[in-house]
Amino acid sequence: MGALDGLKILDLSQILAGPYCTMVLGDLGAEVIKLEKLNGGDDTRQMGPFVNGESTSFFQINRNKKSITVNLKTDEGKEVFYRLAKEVDVIVENYRPGVAASLKIGYEDVKKINPGIIYCSISGYGQTGPYSHKGGFDLVAQGMSGIMSMTGEKGGRPLKSGVAVYDIGAGITAAYAILAAYVHKLKTGKGQHVDLSLAEIGLPWFAWEAAAYFANGTIPTATGHRHRALAPYQAFRTKDSYFMLGCGNQRNWEKFCIDVIDRPGWIRDPRFIDNKMRIENIEILEKEIENVLIEHDSKYWIERCEKAGVPAGPINNFDEAMNDPHYLARDMIQEVEHPVIGKMKMVGIPTKLSETPGEIRSASPVLGQHTVEVLSSIGYTEEELKKLEETQVIGKANIDGKL
């Protein structure tokens, strides 16, 4: 049993933010119907790498969903949409603001036929405000929010975070907002519109940066491999590579001095006496520590830290991460059978619920795989479906669709 069994979602979104949201909800048991455009569907289907002609990028974030292809620019296609919209609890879309309304599939249109609908719009800048009309992607949001000015080495070329943090961030912000709205709906029967943007969702993540800025106007800059407010809490060079050390408090620092690098004298060294002094003298601290660490390789130091109970760990490349025994033991790598791709691996589910664990029930759908199934379930006859296909209102079903 999934925690969200019975929750029905109509997903109009594409690429990453929206699909990530609906994947998370699907993993937890929601039924997700992905409505795609006729020519090619979700843009991610064009992104490599491809296996047997199917996109493995699409495969990674569209599991546990059904795909139907509908042309929303035709009246009959709109009719299909309205009939589905009446049946579902949640709609997720990521059109540029204004587009859904002009297609007559916006919140106001749907509310009239289903007042309990939870309609979530994900956009670059949100539905209001001076930039609302602009298109925005993850990278543009990384630039706007200031995070790029905090990432990288001082004075270097601006860097983005290694993964699409704001796309994913928008997706999971949408996921929790939808669930809160669903709780409200279960209690009152009322739906609502949820408006969130890539440019905003990352802002509340700046807890420490906001504290410094609002308290005394400090503008945070890039700190490279170091923490802004804690030391030593960063990557250190060893004989063979780098590793992460995290002395987040005084106790860990003292254990590190005594049990890891055998420099108990540093505990009373006025330059390193507390976190504040260690931050102030970070350059010299880093140099002193690396002078010791350079004698052995990373593995040696990580083991010593572990014995001493000091938080430390390796800097994995992705290959190492994907083969790490801990991830494997925690089911974070799963293999799924896809109708075209065949057996393919994917990243698993990060939250472990004891009563209603998340589940990968099906691989990502091929384009339009469930058109016939879904439309039949809301009352379309075989004849009507044939007609809709001939007039290109719905796409040709393949694999297990019958048309």
Amino acid identity, residue 400? D
Contact 96, 123 (CB under 8 A): yes
Q: Six-digit token pair at 100?
A: 């859904």
Kindly tell me which of 115 and 264 has the beta carbon lying closer to another protein. 115
Smallest gap from Cβ 117 to another protein, in A, equals 11
Q: Which residue shows structure tokens 């669903």? A: 182
Smallest gap from Cβ 61 to another protein, in A, equals 5
Secondary structure letter of residue 147 according to DSSP: G
Kindly tell me which of 79 and 348 has the beta carbon lying closer to another protein. 348
Q: Give yes or no: 167 in active site.
A: yes
Q: If we measure between CA atoms, which residue out of 390, 393, 401 comes closest to residue 367?
A: 401
Q: If we measure between CA atoms, which residue out of 169, 171, 177, 174 comes closest to residue 202?
A: 169
Smallest gap from Cβ 99 to another protein, in A, equals 12
Kindly tell me which of 168 and 372 has the beta carbon lying closer to another protein. 168
Smallest gap from Cβ 75 to another protein, in A, equals 25
Kindly tell me which of 127 and 398 has the beta carbon lying closer to another protein. 127
Q: Given 11, 138, 167, 195, which residue is catalytic?
A: 167
Instruction: Give DSSP secondary structure letters for 89-141.
Output: SEEEE-PPTTHHHHTT-SHHHHHHH-TT-EEEEEESS-SSSTTTTS---HHHH
What Rg value do the Cα atoms of the chain yield, rounded?
A: 25
Q: If we measure between CA atoms, which residue out of 302, 281, 170 comes closest to residue 231?
A: 281
Active site members: 167
